[in-house]
Amino acid sequence: MSSTFDPRLANARIAPKRGIRLSWSDPKFRNIIFQILIVSALGLAIWYVAHNTQRNLEIQRVATGFGFLGRTAGIPIGEALVPYDPAVNTYGRALVVGLLNTLKVAVIGIVLSTILGTIVGICRLSKNWLISRISAVYVETLRDIPVLLQLLLWYTLLQGLPAPRQAINIGDAVFLSNRGLKMPLIEWQDAHWWTLAAFVLGALGTLAWNRTALRQRDETGKKPPVWPAALGLMVLLPVLVWASLGAPFAIEYPALRGFNFSGGGIISPEYFALLLGLTIYTSAYIAEIVRSGIQAVPRGQWEAAGALGLRQGAVLRLIVLPQATRVIIPPMTSQYLNITKNSSLAVAIGFQDVVSLSQTTLNQTGQAIEGVAIVMAVFLTISLSISLFMNWYNARIALTER
């Protein structure tokens, strides 16, 4: 079929393609028999399990199916990103609230632990002996203590904070007590949504302008400045929109009423402990990844950049870190997956994430299989999306070899 002809093959005898002999001495035949045996054994086991499950569910009088998602839940949820009322809303909505809580921990945890981990990783390579020692002790200690124990310890420490009446008061605006961290919040109005929209639009515009500028640089060798566009689109435009809508601006301060604070925004102790524990634990791993990534960059790169007259910080930022990123991304992906999976430890300190809420749902309805299926589906989807995104990013920054 191929159009090219290899002259060496002119007189070569091509091994005859033979079929499968029905004999035990034929490895192909043996392989097929083994596979049939293994697959049918597995099938039999699955059938047996399914059969037992069906019988057991019949005995327990549990109806299978996802119908329970439409029923009223009645599970009180401490913090929810979307409006939720246990008396009205359904199990389905409760699970969505849980999913959003999981994402809230995972996304913010990933961002914070990347920042902290990168700083600690770079500090470990510092020429300052004290700084590199502190980072080493930080990494070695935190990696060898179970994350659950760390979470529980943080939670206990946060619970040991003073009661709201004796809260630690920072400038009469931020209050730290055993009920969490209270802080002032802008009273959110429609005008703010428009301002936000203008900002997003401006950011997109700046990106587009940046691409044009880069193309122009490739063609003419000169890059037109980007900062005026950025200033105009991302700062002036939102401010104009905000001003034209009457410039509403009011800050709601938390105030002590009775035994607790009211008004303002809150970070609950559960969420705070979870975020703190996960961030600190994962940052120790990320620090090691960053350190080994930087060390994987050949010394010659440092020396060549130094010979060009770049400062230490510029060498790190412009030469070393971009190259280290290629080594760093794959193990970093698995740390991001870990932080997402570890967010399920929320159960232990009473933060209601998707695992905790599906567990409550499961206990109330007895829908074990459906509950488990939902949790698996959620985590497999999140894991897959993170992997896909990181693979895309990895492919984008990968060295183009010619």
Partner 1 sequence: MTMPGNSAPAALHAPIDARDRPPSSVYGPVAWMRANLFNGWLSSGVTILFGYLIIRAAIGFVDWGFLNAIWTVPALPNGNPDPATCRAVRGTGACWAAVGDKWRFITFGRYPYDQQWRPGICIALFLSLYVMSAMRQFWRKELAFIWLGILTLIGVLMWGGVLGLRYVPQDEWGGLPITLILATFGLAFAFPLAVFVALGRRSTQMPAVKLICVLYVELIRGVPLVALLFMASVMLPLFLPSGMNIDKLLRAQIAIILFVGAYVAEVIRGGLQALPKGQAEAADALGLSYWQKTMRITLPQALRLVIPPLVNTFIGFFKDTSLVLIIGIFDLLTSGKTAMSDPTWQGSSTEIYIVMAIVYFGFCFAMSTYSRSVERKLDSAHNR
Provide the minimum distance between the beta carbon of 401 and partner 1 in the complex, in angstroms, as a whole number.
Answer: 21
Choose between 33 and 231: whose C-beta lies nearer to partner 1.
33
Under 8 Å between Cβ of 105 and 352: no
**Cα distance between residue 76 and residue 385, in whole Å:** 30
**Cα distance between residue 310 and residue 287, in whole Å:** 25
Provide the minimum distance between the beta carbon of 235 and partner 1 in the complex, in angstroms, as a whole number.
Answer: 32
DSSP at 57: H
Biggest CA–CA distance in the chain, Å, is 98
Provide the minimum distance between the beta carbon of 353 and partner 1 in the complex, in angstroms, as a whole number.
Answer: 10
Choose between 37 and 255: whose C-beta lies nearer to partner 1.
37
H/E stretch holding 169 reads strand 168-170
Under 8 Å between Cβ of 136 and 124: yes
Burial annotation 171-191 (CB, 10 A radius, 16+ → b, else e): eeebbbbebbbbbeeeeeeeb
List Cβ<8 Å contacts ≥24 apart for 137-142. 138/284, 138/287, 139/284, 139/287, 139/288, 142/280, 142/281, 142/283, 142/284
Choose between 102 and 206: whose C-beta lies nearer to partner 1.
102
Provide the minimum distance between the beta carbon of 6 and partner 1 in the complex, in angstroms, as a whole number.
Answer: 23
Choose between 200 and 373: whose C-beta lies nearer to partner 1.
373
Choose between 53 and 262: whose C-beta lies nearer to partner 1.
53
Sorted by sequence, the CB contacts under 8 Å of residue 197 that are 6+ apart come out as: 241
Provide the minimum distance between the beta carbon of 153 and partner 1 in the complex, in angstroms, as a whole number.
Answer: 5
The three-state secondary structure class of 15 is: coil
Provide the minimum distance between the beta carbon of 332 and partner 1 in the complex, in angstroms, as a whole number.
Answer: 16
DSSP at 160: T
**Cα distance between residue 343 and residue 379, in whole Å:** 11
Choose between 42 and 204: whose C-beta lies nearer to partner 1.
42
For 300, the token pair is: 């010659």
Query: 7: burial class by Cβ within 10 Å (0-12, 13-18, 19+)?
Result: exposed
Residues that bind partner 1 (CB under 8 A): 27-28, 31, 34-35, 38-39, 42, 49, 52-53, 55-57, 59, 127-131, 134, 140-141, 143-150, 152-153, 156-157, 160, 341-345, 347-348, 355, 359, 362, 368-369, 371-372, 375-376, 379-380, 383-384
Choose between 163 and 384: whose C-beta lies nearer to partner 1.
384
Provide the minimum distance between the beta carbon of 390 and partner 1 in the complex, in angstroms, as a whole number.
Answer: 15
Choose between 197 and 372: whose C-beta lies nearer to partner 1.
372
Instruction: Tell me which residue of 277, 291, 247 sits closest to 123, measured CA to CA.
Output: 291
Provide the minimum distance between the beta carbon of 395 and partner 1 in the complex, in angstroms, as a whole number.
Answer: 20
CA-CA-CA-CA torsion sign (361, 363, 365, 371): positive
Lookup result for tokens 């002809």 = 5
Provide the minimum distance between the beta carbon of 42 and partner 1 in the complex, in angstroms, as a whole number.
Answer: 7
Provide the minimum distance between the beta carbon of 342 and partner 1 in the complex, in angstroms, as a whole number.
Answer: 7
